[in-house]
Structure 1
Amino acid sequence: MTTVDPITTRETAPATGAPAPSGPSATARRYLMCRPSHFAVDYVINPWMDPTSPVDAGLAVAQWERLREIYLDLGHTVEEIDPLPGLPDMVFAANGGTVVDGIALAVQFRDPQRADEAPAYRAWFERAGFEVHDPKHVNEGEGDILLAGDLLLAGTGFRTAHAAHAQLQEVFGRPVITLQLVDPRYYHLDTALCVLDERTVAYLPEAFSPGSRAALRRLFPDAILARPADAEVFGLNAVSDGRYVVLPVQADGLAAQLRERGYEPIGVDLSELRKAGGGPKCCTLTLREREASK
């Protein structure tokens, strides 16, 4: 898969008065991101991290800026939280919280190396006017909590505690589906599953327990089943607006599967950030406002 220039993508959109394209449709989103100004790999809290491997911090920033540009070119809004020194993983904004219906559930990290990120994100949600709830158990935000239609898909097994799933239902008032992760390489749900739209997901079956695989088959019979080679380059750590799917450029097999279903894949190279176990979705927290009818 070659990287798609977002300007080209924008120019292919129909002119005013032209019929809308068939197939999946895009919805404008509001995202929160954190510039990797202090990015480094100084410790090991997942299988992808190796402090002995060189990291190009400048390249990490440039790759992140490209991701941000793609979102803006697609018509999305990007908010930014200030990066803090000594928190090299703060760039992975998806772990900073879960925001649904104008309500933000703050996070509690499993690892002490990331603990100081939690109050920074919580303070940002308060300043932005969200109703904020404090966590009762370890939960790592949208890393393990993904909204699919009316359902909250909730991962557990490595980071977010299973006990946190009950709080999700109480805070957001939505049904919660527990999904057990079994492969330590896919330690967060968003590394093994991507929500493409309200009815469709893509996921790696091997990353889940037998019972969770069975549940996913029932819930999403038309899901895209990713290949291990694409998951290993964080292809499922993708961001979809319902039509355009921003994913690592290295996941060319998954990109082809998406095209077959009518989605428009946009490749981005986040190879430096992947050295810390992150991809496009890890860098992107969706800020969902309360619906007007509520």
Structure 2
Amino acid sequence: MVRPEDSAPVAAPRHYLMCRPTYFAVEYAINPWMDPTLIVDRDRAVRQWEGLRDLHRSLGHRVSEIAPIEGLPDMVFAANGALVVDGRVYGARFASAERTPEGPAYLDWFRKAGYVETKEPKHVNEGEGDFITLDDVILAATGFRTEAAAHQEAERLLDRPVVTLQLVDPRFYHLDTALFVLSGHQIAYYPGAFSEGSRRVLRALYPDALLATEEDAAALGLNAVADGRNVVIAAEATALSDRLRALGYTVHPIELDELRKAGGGAKCCTLELRDSPT
């Protein structure tokens, strides 16, 4: 694994889009984490979300907010709402009927915010949930939500090479539950979430990647947000956090267990806006 000081990464200011969980609930089950019989403490979810938002800001990042819409309890998971690269917005087309209205809602926000190049997708995709952007490539997943055809659609719009990966474990239904970017050229991931062919691809592209254990992955420890130096990560992912610290990263554990009842963590709540309008 490449240590931060070896590649000299620095924490760069980012611009994030988030959505307050005003209407958060678990009213249906569209992934293995969701159980509608569980009691959700919405006030606690809001407090945890505010802690994440405030942490992002304390690390020097800008946070914009999209207004939540009643009846869309998963809208808090802003990362699923779009993919933004070089100021171009590839909108989301959700796999489940319950979340379908979120796609137009997020695209409308971008257009009103001044984004000129926006695309309403033809193919099912769930934004940064299944697209992860590095300096020279976009990693994209299929298997549970996003269609492989969406990878080609995104590649044409964003003019970036897209590498397709296959997810095989339903617990890790989105790519951002199984892999996150540490810096522009480095990743951490859980091998068991991927097909053997995809593991070979990842080993070839990132031979020095940090490999997470199943225990840390199952705590959504890979649903993390990093800026090259700081890593915002699930508090329960203790072994992964220790390894990151040993490599020189500054780790910021955060409690998001209320939102995890719907299968989301720090990254699910955080959509990065790359080269966005000022």
TM-score, structure 2 length as denominator? 0.96
- Pairwise CA distance, 1:24: 3.4
- In structure 1, the partner of 2:200 is 214
SS in 1 for 2:253: strand
How many angstroms apart in 2 are the aligned matches of 1:23 and 1:233? 29
Q: Is 1:162 the equivalent of 2:111?
A: no
The answer on whether the counterparts of 1:23 and 1:263 sit within 8 Å (CA) in structure 2 is no
Alignment of 1:92-171 (within 5 A): 92-130=77-115, 131-171=117-157
One-letter identity of the residue aligned with 1:64: W
Residue 24 (str. 1) matches residue 17 (str. 2): no
Q: Spell out the pairing of 1:7-18 with structure 2 (5 A cutoff).
A: none
Aligned-pair distance for 1:23?
A: 4.8
One-letter code of the match for 1:93?
Answer: A
What CA distance in whole angstroms lies between the structure 1 residues aligned with 2:247 and 2:111? 39
Q: Which runs of 4+ in 1 moved over 4 A?
A: none
> 1:290: how far off?
6.3
**Secondary structure of residue in 1 paired with 2:75:** helix
The equivalent residue for 2:46 is 61
Q: SS state of the match for residue 215, structure 1?
A: helix
1:264-283 aligned within 5 A: 264-283=250-269
1:203 equivalent to 2:189? Answer yes
Q: 5+ residue gaps in structure 2?
A: none
1:223 corresponding residue in structure 2 = 209
Task: Note the C-alpha offset of 1:150.
Answer: 1.2
The CA distance in 1 between the partners of 2:181 and 2:60, in whole Å, is: 19
Alignment partner of 1:253 is 2:239:
yes
Cα distance in 1 for residues equivalent to 2:155 and 2:33: 31
The amino acid that maps onto 2:165 is: L
Q: Residue type of the partner of 1:198?
A: G
Q: Tell whether 2:20 aligns with 1:35.
A: yes
* Residue identity in the other structure for 2:212: A
Q: Which residue of 2 aligns with 1:8?
A: none
**SS of the residue aligned with 1:86?**
coil
Q: CA deviation at 1:55?
A: 0.7
Q: How many residues are treated as equivalent by the alignment? A: 271
Deviations 1:208-229 (A, max 9, x none): 0001000000111110000010
Q: Which amino acid aligns with 1:108?
A: R
Q: Measure the CA separation in 1 of the matches of 2:122 and 2:240.
A: 37
**Quick one: distance in 2 between partners of 1:197 and 1:128?**
27
Aligned to 1:51: 36
8 Å CA contact retained: 1:24, 1:262: no
* Alignment of 1:191 onto 2:177: yes
What fraction of aligned residue pairs are identical, expressed as a percent?
58
RMSD: 1.3
Mapped to 2, the partners of 1:42 and 1:213 lie a distance apart of 35
**Structure 1 unaligned runs (5+)?**
1-19
CA–CA separation in structure 2 for the residues paired with 1:128 and 1:216: 36
1:148 to 1:172, Cα distance in 2 relative to 1, 3 A: same
Q: Which residue of 2 aligns with 1:3?
A: none
SS at match of 2:251: strand
Q: SS at 1:89's partner residue?
A: coil
The structure having more radius of gyration, on CA atoms, is 1
Which of 49, 64, 69 aligns to 1:79? It is 64
TM-score normalised according to structure 1 size: 0.90
